[in-house]
Structures are given as C-alpha cells and as structure tokens.
Amino acid sequence: MRDNKQPGTDAKPPMPKWAIWAIVAAVMVIAFGSQFISQPTGEKISYTEFLELVRDGDVREITINNSNNVISGELKNGGKFTTTGAMLMSEADEQLLKQQGVNYDFKTPQPNWFTSLLPIFLPFLLIIGFFVWMQRRAMGQAGNIMSVGRSKAKAYQADKPSTTFSDVAGYDGVKMEIKEVVDFLRMPERFKEIGARVPKGILLVGPPGTGKTLFARAVAGEAGVGFLSVTGSDFMEMFVGVGASRVRDLFQQARKMGKAIIFIDEIDSIGRKRGAGLGGGHDEREQTLNQLLAEMDGFEATEGIVILAATNRPDILDAALLRPGRFDRQIIVPLPEFEERLAILKVHSRDKRMGSDVDMDTMAKATPGMSGADLANLVNEAALFAVRRGSTFIERIDFENARDRVVLGASRESLVLSPEEKRATAIHEGGHAVLATVLTHSDPLHKVTILPRGMALGVTWSLPQERHTYSREYFEDLICKAMGGRVAEKIVYGHLNSGAANDLEQATGIARRMVREWGMSDKVGPMAWNSQQQVFLGEDLMTSGREYSDSTARMLDEEISRILNEQEQRAHNLLTQHRAGLEAVAEKLLEEETIDGATVGRLIQESLDTPTSTTV
C-alpha cells in the first residue's frame, strides 16, 4: 500500500500534559517527602505530663530535636510519646533525667541534597521555563520556522474515497467532460496506444455554491488515486518566497504519490493578471504564480498528475495560466436547471423524515436561480422550522417558510408599524402586485406580503421563468413593475416617501445596462460599454478610463432617463386604469397580510368588466 503521509509526520508526538504534572509531583516528593517521613510518631502530651512521667520513673529514653525542640521518647512499658520543650533545657530538668536514669540524646536532622540546592537553582529553572513557554507560544502562532515553506495541502487516502459521482446530483454534461480524467488515471495505456494526451490542467468555472469542489473530490474518489487539496490563499504568507516554496513542495508531494490529483480551490487569489495596477512584478503573489506556471511546465502528462482548479472569476486570471499546455480545458459548472435542482433536493432529503404533503417537483420549480449550496441550506432550514413547530416530520409548510426566509429574509416580528405606515405599505406592494399581474411579459406573481422581512417592510415575489435570453419588452416590464410601488403611493396619497429607494436603484441599474451593454436603445444603436474595471481586478491603472466622449455620456444619460420616465408613465396609466383593483388588493393585504398571486388575479378580475390581460 502506498504511503500517503505528509512530510514530517514521523516526528515524535509531544509530551502529554499528565506526564509534566507527574514530573512536578515527583520533584515535590523528593524535596519535601523526607521531612514527612522523619516526623516522630507517638501520643502527644504536654511538657508537664512529660516531667511527671520522668519523676515516676516510667520513661526509658528520649531524643531531643535541636531544630524544632520536639522531644520524642519511649516508655518502659513500650509506649511512645512526643512533646515540645523549651529552647534550652533547664539544669533542674536535666538533673531530673540523670537521677531517674533516663537515656537522653540530642539530634540535629540534616536536610537532603535536593532541598539544599533548590533555592540556588530555582531562579534559573523559572527563567528557562519562561523562555520555553515563549518559544512554544511563538511556534503555535507562526508555525515552525523550519517548515514554513512546506505546502499546506490536505492529503486524502486513495484507497478510501469518500465522494464519488453518485454523490453529485445532476450535471450529466459536466460528468461526461470530466470522466476523461478518471479514465486516464485508471487506464493510461488506452491513451498512450493511440497517442492521445489528456489535458494537464482542468479549470472548473461557475458561480459560488455550484459544487466545483465536490466535483474535484468525486474525480479523486472515482479514479482511486491520491488527492491533494489546497486553497489559493494557503500559498500566501508574510515571508518573501514562501508561496513559491509551497508550490514546489506541493508538486513534490504529488510526484511521490505516483498518480495524483492536485486541486487548487479559489485559484484566482494567486492567478490574477500580472503587472496590474501599482503592484509591479516583484510582489509575493506574482512570484507564486510564476512558480506555479513553471511547475506545470515541468511535468509530463504521462506522469499521472492532473491539476484541477476552481474559480468563479475566470475573467481576471492571467492569460499564461489558461494557455494550452497548462489549464487547457475549462468546464462550466452552471446554476442547476429544474431536473438538476430536483435531483439535488432528493439527495439532501434522503436522510430526513419527509411528510406526505411534500412535493419535490413543486419545490424544484419554485427555486430557480438557486445553487446546490442554496438548496442544501433550504432543506436544512425546512428541518429547523419543523423542529420549532414540534413536528417529527418535515411538511410542505416548513419548505414554504424556509423558502421565504432564504429568498425574502427573516421575518421581523418585533417591528410594529403604525396604521398609516401599514396602509402605505399595502398600497405600495399592491402597486407592484397589480402590475406583475397585468403586464404581459412579466414573471408570474407568486406571493405578496406586508409583513416586514429582512430590510423591507413588504415584499412582492414573482417566480422567474427559466430562460437564457431576455427581450427588451421583458426588461421594460421589469422596470415598469419596479415603479409600481412609487406610482401607487403617488396616485392614492398624492405625495412620495422614501420607501421606493431600492425599487429606483433596481430600475436604474436595468435601464443603464439596457443602454450601455445590451444595445436596447435605438438612439445609441449597436454599441456596448462595460462598467469600468477596478485596478485590483486585473486592469492596468493607466488604461482603465472612460471609453466614450462627453457628448456620448450625455446621450447615454438622456436615454437612461427616457426609459425610466416612459416606464413610470406607463405604470401610472396602468394603475389609474386598475385603481379599483389596486384598492381591493390593498384592503385584502390589510386583512390577511399575505396573499398569493391567484388571489391578486381574482381581485383584479372582479374589479373590471374586461379580462385581466388588459395592457398598455
């Protein structure tokens, strides 16, 4: 069996704490035990009783301790006694002892050698102990200075894979792309016979929480080879050259394993574009990247070493890192679609007690845009809600509450609104809900509530349909719906308040991207200007400037303003037309606080003689 231990694991384990206390106890026994052992035994009597026994002739012999004046003696009947005398025995008492024929002797006990030397060496022992304690404390904080250049990669055993492809739900396309790596590590002869070369490096790209790290572990588990896992930040240290040294040590460990997978998570922390901004070409991060590039060129693909890396920012990686021969394949790990979300929910629910009313198909359809980590958190939140209810099963209401908490935020039950604020919130959310119902290209309305959640006093929630491209009409309806709360308050109350700040921010952001990036303005035409990149994201300080003139900037501002004003007027016309429906929705919200999209549609239908599909 191949030895997968890290370098330095053969070192002797540190001395346990109980052994240190045992040594201290032994020293105390040696120092002071002799004094307790030499203590005289016998009945304790007074000095007067001692003299009476001497006069009666009952005392055979005594011993006087010159250090503490303790007199220990033996009676003629075999009994023993102790007493305490004066500093100097009087002549009368001494004469009495001689007359009664008592044998007496003076004794001065000698201290042991350890007790004599302890006062001399104790200060030195304390000083040495202090320096040892300081050294161990420094080693605990900064690590052993001799091993600071070693890699911090975690090695997993090859014969006990903890993760396989069966643990990764969905993503069949990603599995097919990455399966070549598994086949190469299992059967490299097949590739050698035909002359094929497996990519040295594979870059997993996708949003956070989509399971990139899980895929890397599954590859190692399926292939049954060594797996070295390290994050990009593990290479960075306050000492110069440590990052490059750890990169060298990481590849040395992989070569000792024979066949191995090196997984670098969050590689963008060390793989950003070189020469960006004010950093120059001599900072620690760039030297670490240079060493990584050199190591990737230093081994052949036939060695059985494959590098996997994960990032959610491929746009800021250095071009030399992505060229063929290094990371020559990128695998996109996108947000899961409906079928994949359903499989992920089933995986995370298989060890939990589900109620009979839980429909995973409905939950998968109601969670578009959620990553695998979000879905795992959703199932766990549902379990927590079931425990709070005192139920032994997770039911549909628990999933509904968990989804509201994850998407809309936690309910703020401690926040109490005045009747005026509550009605204004109902009018505001009613405006959003009415427009979400009557607009043709809008996402279907799911729920509207005036219960405070997160940072909002009320929330209108639409379920976005799964799509990959969006039309100009869709974004126009989105802006119009965002203007609904502000316009509804203006129609009903005749004035505005600060409750529409987030709506205006969302609408302005969409309008800006329509004009600047998506070419959805007839006046601007088919031109696109991305947002200005920051220096730390890899753009050079001298070249990151505005790409258009002042006149173009004025035209862009005018177009953004035109779109916002047109959609605000459109929202005003629609809500004026559906004023009765707006009032009905607001009253229903004040009565029940939370209503669903079907109820909103029914209220609008009842308030009109025409169908709810009336649009402007």
pLDDT of 413-458, one tens digit each? Answer: 667 777 888 888 899 999 999 999 999 988 888 889 888 876 778 8
Predicted pLDDT at 186: 74
- Determine the Cα–Cα distance for residues 33 and 27; give it in Å rounded to an integer: 9
Match 């016998």 to its residue by tokens: 42
Q: What is the largest CA-CA distance in the chain?
A: 139
For residues 446 and 467, membership in a common domain is answered with: yes
- Determine the Cα–Cα distance for residues 227 and 221; give it in Å rounded to an integer: 9
- Determine the Cα–Cα distance for residues 352 and 406; give it in Å rounded to an integer: 19
For residues 559 and 493, membership in a common domain is answered with: yes
What's the one-letter identity of residue 170? G
Task: Confirm whether 132 is domain-assigned.
Answer: no
User: Is 425 in contact with 412 (CB distance < 8 Å)?
Assistant: no
Predicted pLDDT at 314: 83
For residues 185 and 320, membership in a common domain is answered with: yes
Quote the domain boundaries for residue 327.
154-332
Query: Whole-model pTM?
Result: 0.63
- Determine the Cα–Cα distance for residues 194 and 187; give it in Å rounded to an integer: 13
Of 291, 311, 332, which closes a domain? 332
Give the closest residue to 463 by CA, choosing from 370, 366, 601.
Answer: 366
Q: How far is CA 524 from the centre of its chain?
A: 45
Task: Confirm whether 473 is domain-assigned.
Answer: yes
For residues 423 and 390, membership in a common domain is answered with: no
For residues 66 and 187, membership in a common domain is answered with: no
CATH number where 392 lies: 1.10.8.60
For residues 239 and 274, membership in a common domain is answered with: yes
Q: At what angle do helices 242-257 and 284-297 cross, to 10 degrees?
A: 20
Task: Confirm whether 135 is domain-assigned.
Answer: no
Predicted pLDDT at 567: 93
- Determine the Cα–Cα distance for residues 179 and 187; give it in Å rounded to an integer: 12
Task: Write out pLDDT tens, residues 275-308.
Answer: 655 444 446 777 777 778 887 776 555 467 788 8
For residues 223 and 301, membership in a common domain is answered with: yes
For residues 238 and 267, membership in a common domain is answered with: yes
Task: Confirm whether 380 is domain-assigned.
Answer: yes
SS (H, E, C) 333-361: CCCCCHHHHHHHHHHHHCCCCECCCCCHH
Predicted pLDDT at 607: 83
Task: Confirm whether 112 is domain-assigned.
Answer: no
Q: With the CA atoms of 389, 392, 393 and 399 taken in that order, what torsion angle do they form, in degrees rounded to the nearest 10?
A: 20
CATH number where 234 lies: 3.40.50.300
Give me 181's structure tokens.
Answer: 């790596």
Predicted pLDDT at 611: 46
CATH number where 580 lies: 1.20.58.760
Low-confidence ranges of the chain (pLDDT < 70): 1-42, 110-118, 137-162, 234-243, 275-283, 298-303, 413-414, 454, 530-546, 609-616
- Determine the Cα–Cα distance for residues 482 and 488; give it in Å rounded to an integer: 11
Of 364, 382, 407, which closes a domain? 407
Task: Confirm whether 179 is domain-assigned.
Answer: yes
Catalytic residue positions? 429
Count of residues in the chain = 616
Predicted pLDDT at 280: 45
User: Is 175 in contact with 135 (CB distance < 8 Å)?
Assistant: no
Task: Confirm whether 384 is domain-assigned.
Answer: yes
For residue 264, give the 3-state DSSP assignment: strand
Predicted pLDDT at 236: 64
Of 305, 332, 359, which closes a domain? 332
- Determine the Cα–Cα distance for residues 370 and 337; give it in Å rounded to an integer: 9
For residues 327 and 200, membership in a common domain is answered with: yes
Match 């709506």 to its residue by tokens: 503
Give the closest residue to 83 by CA, choosing from 103, 63, 107, 108.
Answer: 63
For residues 394 and 484, membership in a common domain is answered with: no
Task: Confirm whether 85 is domain-assigned.
Answer: yes
For residues 486 and 386, membership in a common domain is answered with: no
Give the closest residue to 197 by CA, choosing from 184, 178, 210, 208.
Answer: 184
For residues 558 and 574, membership in a common domain is answered with: yes
Number of domains in the chain: 4
